[in-house]
């Protein structure tokens, strides 16, 4: 059994990005990232702080636009328009969730597809499904980097994706299908989850339910990717997989924390660098 070390891999990727950013700066271009944070959700504030710190670490300029929970949709859309027009900002992400009075779909669709480093715009999602060049949501993109680094072949493999969100499950499905895997996607309405996970060569789970995937639900030698992150009453962070018991059967498995999480931020930086590169090409 091999533990997939997302922390180590993300550090390696960040070092590579740092070198590229320095080269870009020599040519007179500093990649810029803007983050919009609405309200005072502690988890969102923590994520945004991490994004800002890691951006600074690799030399990417970043700015956080913080707004109270009472901000109107109109004001938010106006801010997005301003950032879309700013030539010094190449990537823009909206920290989710947004307050209930804000139409999340309308907000995400207002972000310029060329600056959509989260990969949530329907334009980018559509291109992803068609296997065309696009910005890919950071978490599933990070999982694909893990497969590549650990030489886990996807061609013809049976993969079960548990969770069908627009942020993780659906783009994960598209990326895997594009690599010629046979993908089974499960969700809250799936009748017998075990029946699906048990026959899979690779199980990818991200629903936010501790110990959802137990040892009897995976076959011997399966690759298990745990995207879930949950805080227990005792404060401990765990994923959606019963790591202790499932790891005894898996050939490869990601831990929580230290697995997919660090890769998500690394991919955000990579997408921002890509957006800056695209901007430079357009201007040349």
- Structure tokens that stand for 207 in this block: 């629903």
Which is the catalytic residue, given 51, 115, 157, 170? 51
138, 93 contact by CB (below 8 A): no
Does 118 participate in catalysis according to the annotation? Answer: yes
Token pair recorded at residue 186? 């499960």
Contact 219, 252 (CB under 8 A): no
- Reported as type and span, the H/E element at residue 108 is helix 104-110
Please list, in sequence order, all residues whose beta carbon lies within 8 angstroms of the beta carbon of residue 53, skipping any fewer than 6 positions away: none
Where do runs of H (alpha helix) occur along the chain?
6-26, 42-58, 73-85, 104-110, 122-129, 138-149, 169-178, 193-198, 243-246, 260-283
Given 5, 115, 116, 118, which residue is catalytic? 118
Q: Give residue for tokens 């910005």.
A: 135
| Active-site hit among 5, 95, 201, 270 | 95
Q: Please identify every residue annotated as catalytic.
A: 51, 95, 118
């Amino acid at each position: 059994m091999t533990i997939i070390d997302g922390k180590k891999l993300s550090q390696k990727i960040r070092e590579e990005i740092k070198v590229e950013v320095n080269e870009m700066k020599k040519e007179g271009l500093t990649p810029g990232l803007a983050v919009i944070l609405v309200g005072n959700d502690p988890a969102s504030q923590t994520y945004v702080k991490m994004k800002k710190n890691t951006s600074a670490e690799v030399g990417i300029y970043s700015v956080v636009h913080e707004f109270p929970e009472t901000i109107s949709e109109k004001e938010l859309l106006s801010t997005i328009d301003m950032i879309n027009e700013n030539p010094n900002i190449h990537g823009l992400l909206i920290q989710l969730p947004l307050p209930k009075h804000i139409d999340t779909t309308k907000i995400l669709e207002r972000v310029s597809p060329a600056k959509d480093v989260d990969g949530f715009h329907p334009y980018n999602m559509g291109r992803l499904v068609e296997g065309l060049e696009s910005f890919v949501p950071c978490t599933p993109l990070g999982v694909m980097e893990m497969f590549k680094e650990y030489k886990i072949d996807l061609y013809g493999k049976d993969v079960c994706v548990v969770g069908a969100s627009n942020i993780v499950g659906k783009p994960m499905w598209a990326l895997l299908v594009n690599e010629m895997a046979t993908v089974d996607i499960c969700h809250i309405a799936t009748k017998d989850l075990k029946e699906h996970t048990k026959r899979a060569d690779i199980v990818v789970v991200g629903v936010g339910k501790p110990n959802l995937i137990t040892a009897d639900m995976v076959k011997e030698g399966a690759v298990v990717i745990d995207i879930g992150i949950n805080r227990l009453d005792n404060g401990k962070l765990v994923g959606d997989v019963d790591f202790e018991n499932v790891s005894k059967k898996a050939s490869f498995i990601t831990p929580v924390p230290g697995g997919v999480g660090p890769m998500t931020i690394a991919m955000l930086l990579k997408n921002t660098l890509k957006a800056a590169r695209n901007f430079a090409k357009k201007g040349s």
